Copies of this chain bind each other. A is one copy, B any other.
């Protein structure tokens, strides 16, 4: 099973809507497939120009390691050099904080990841989770 483009659009739409409803800063949201490749991305008007690399880095580390953003952050706090080294191994495409969210299907298989950036990391995760759940998939933040 894979995230469809239609689902990816809906994930992004609901994440933006959630951010707006909660008064968050303008968000940017990326959807990666199960291989870490880019499926969809949108940057809100008013968001800073480099938000793509941050959003993708959050999602990329999740899907490539099979570990969600919160768990990556815990590892980074316990063992910063490991996470720095993993980032190097992934060509810099790893941002180990919340807002990187694993997407699982009903069997529990990882079918992609979502990366959200623009507000606090915890708020980013809330917005992304709302989007993922809106299309009937499971979010691991």
Question: A: which residues have CB within 8 A of B?
Answer: 2, 4-5, 8-9, 33-45, 47-54, 56-57, 63-67, 76-77, 79-97, 110
A41 & B44 in contact (Cβ 8 Å cutoff): no
- A interface secondary structure, majority: mixed
B81 & A89 in contact (Cβ 8 Å cutoff): no
Given contacts A85-B95, A97-B82, contact A65 B76 (CB under 8 A): no
Chain B residues with Cβ below 8 Å from A53 are 64, 86, 89-90
Cα A96 to Cα B79 in complex, Å, equals: 11
| Contacting residue for A86 out of B42, B47, B54, B64, CB 8 A | B54
Question: From residue A17, how far is it (CB to closest CB) to chain B in Å?
Answer: 13
